[in-house]
Amino acid sequence: MTKPEFELSEQSYKYLFENANDAIWVHDMTGSIVAANKACARLTGYAPQELIGKNVREFLSREFLDFAKEVRRRLLAGETLEQPYEQRLLRKDGATRIMKMVTSLVVIDGEVKGVQHIARDITEEKQLQENIRLHSQLCIRAQERERERIALELHDDVAEPLLLVSQRLDMTLSSPRAKLPGSLRQKIEEFRILTNEAIERLRRCAQDLRPRILDDLGLAAALEWMADDVREHGIDGHFELLGTEQSLPDEVELLLLRIAQEALNNTRRHAEASSVWITMEFGSDKAILTIKDNGKGFKLPEKVEDLAGTGKLGLAGMQERAQLMKGYLRVGSEPGKGTTVIIEVPI
């Protein structure tokens, strides 16, 4: 190994410590601070000289004190601790800051003398993330309302009048007084069939936009209907209900149905699967929806949210919807081994 060209003097280290952008502080085993840098003063709101001798407990509320103790216990016991970890701190002015921090023991002559921390204030970053999440949730809700409105309009303003047309054609055909020549009769019959087909398509459209079946028959029936519906696309759909169906809040049921719809769309569009299984399980404290296909699978990105950046909004949207109901989404896929989407929601 080549010798470095120079070594940092103690003074240089001190300079680094003092002027680091991250807050750094060291306390002894009783929690009393023995060193803290300028960034630590900015983070806590105390002047640098005020910090020395202060006990770190003063910065922690009950819950976070317990967490800090746990961190220390693990370090002393040599157990693994995922670092950096998140922690909260109470400032001098009473405000709470969120930090991402790294903690290690100060060992002198083989003896643990204290604990040192390096912390970055991520409060604003967290706030921003939260705002984005809230915004996307508002968008999801607005989109649902809009879909409901369009579905209603399709039904009332388009399907209803068409239904009248179909009925009139029917009446014309069956009226004994109308002496229709055979060729005209055949034409009218054709119109009637075409009109009925259009009505059926509209119904499907409206059902996709706002699944009425959900309001009428509940989630399990709606999922079963969807499993049947994929047969139209040559995929063998199965549905299974495990446990006793419990009624969930309307919004939760709709969100679950949307996730299933999107997962089935993916199966249809990407999987080249021959079968898909939908399972809805009701436990004592959670409901679990699973959509599993036997298709070609795919290589999962590290985070589903990352897909949104490439214009793929399906899985990311499922994630958003799961979060909206305080649920948890898991996607499992491997090339050649099919894809499974699981959503757990607390009841």
Ligand X SMILES: Nc1ncnc2c1ncn2[C@@H]1O[C@H](COP(=O)(O)OP(=O)(O)O)[C@@H](O)[C@H]1O
What values do phi and psi take at 288, rounded to 5? -125, 125
Which residue's CB is nearer to Mg ion, number 214 or number 259? Answer: 259
314 binds Mg ion (CB under 5 A): yes
Tokens (6 digits) for 312: 């793929």
Name which of ligand X, Mg ion, none residue 339 binds, using a CB cut-off of 5 to 8 Å depending on partner kind: ligand X
Q: 211 touches which of Mg ion, ligand X, none (CB within 5 to 8 A by kind)?
A: none
- List of residues contacting ligand X (CB under 6 A): 266-267, 269-271, 293, 295-298, 307, 312, 314-316, 339
For ligand X, which residue has the nearest CB? Answer: 314
Tell me the torsion sign for CA atoms 67, 81, 122, 54: positive
Round to whole Å and give the CA distance between 245 and 214: 13
Each residue 266-305 as x (binds Mg ion by CB under 5 A) or -, in order, gives x---------------------------------------
- Select from 32-40, 108-116, 174-182, 264-272 the region that touches Mg ion (CB under 5 A): 264-272
322 class by beta-carbon count within 10 Å (0-12 exposed, 13-18 middle, 19+ buried): buried
- Give the separation between CA 94 and CA 90, rounded to whole angstroms: 6
Closer Cβ to Mg ion, 94 or 311, answer by number: 311
Q: Which of 174, 287, 275 is nearest to 230 (CA)?
A: 275
- Closer of 32 and 275 to ligand X (Cβ): 275
Options 74-82, 85-93, 261-269, 294-302: segment touching Mg ion (CB under 5 A): 261-269
CA-based Rg of the chain, rounded to a whole angstrom? Answer: 31
Selection from 237, 144, 248, 159 nearest residue 198 by Cα = 159
Q: Which residues bind Mg ion (CB under 5 A)?
A: 266, 314
